[in-house]
Each structure stands twice: as C-alpha cells, then as structure tokens.
Amino acid sequence: MALMGMQLFGGTYNDEVGYSREDCPNRICPDATLEPLPRYHFDYFVPAMLTSFVLLTGEFSDAMIPAARSNGPLGVLFFVFAVLIGMYLFMNLFVAILLNTFAEDLVSDVEDPGGAEK
C-alpha cells in the first residue's frame, strides 16, 4: 500500500497546493503563505510506511485531509478503499489466528481430557 501511495501521491505536496518543499523549523516556513509538509505523506518510503500503518490502524483522517487537499477526490477514494480493504484483511487475519488458537486448545483437550501431567 505504501508503494501504491508513493506512485499515486508522491511529490503532490508542493507549493502549488500550499505546502512548502523547504525545511520548516518549528513548523514555521520561510514563505508565510505555505504550510509545512504534513506528517503523513507519500513522498518518501519511510513516511509512506508510517502513513500506511496509520491507515491500517484506523486513524486515517490526519493523513486523508492533506491528501484530499492536494489531490482532490482521488485522494479521498484511495484512503477510503485502503482503510476498508486493510481493515477487512486485518480483521480476517485476527479472526483466523484466534480460531487457530481455539482449535489447538480443542485438539489438546481431546488428546488429554483429564489434563494429567506426566
């Protein structure tokens, strides 16, 4: 998901849409009309991975608002689909691990019903 976000949104946070590409110490940019680069963006790999993690944990509004501002409806669609599909996959993974654990406990109870120790 991070690589797809980098392909779709990499480099779109620029001065044309109101974000400074220069370093902004203490979040104060040299050009007062621009805002600093948002914390969650897809310009580089590490921030893209961080943004993907934030999306998959369900806190997507902090990342989606700047993307919608700089990319319009495409940004919103990407985030909605990423959250829906990502949450679905993680929920299925969680349920599968839970069911596997219960199945292992059931098998161990069937093999040793008394729970006697050797």
pLDDT at 9 over 60: yes
What pTM value is reported for the model? Answer: 0.71
Q: Is 117 part of any domain?
A: no
Q: Cβ(79)–Cβ(55) under 8 Å? A: yes
Q: Is 118 part of any domain?
A: no
Q: Cβ(24)–Cβ(36) under 8 Å? A: yes
Residue 47 is predicted with a pLDDT of 92
Residue 45 is predicted with a pLDDT of 94
The pLDDT tens digits of the residues spanning 42-76 come to 988 999 999 988 888 878 888 888 888 888 888 88
Q: Is 63 part of any domain?
A: yes
Residue 14 is predicted with a pLDDT of 85
Q: Is 105 part of any domain?
A: yes
Q: Is 83 part of any domain?
A: yes
* Residue (of 10, 91, 87) closest to 2 by Cα position: 10
Contacts of 11 by beta carbon, 8 Å cutoff, 6+ apart: 43
pLDDT at 115 over 70: no
Q: Which residue range forms the structural domain that includes residue 69?
A: 2-111
Q: Which helix (H) or strand (E) holds 22?
A: none
Q: Could you count the other beta carbons within 10 Å of the beta carbon of residue 29?
A: 19
Residue 87 is predicted with a pLDDT of 83
The mean pLDDT value for 100-112 works out to 81
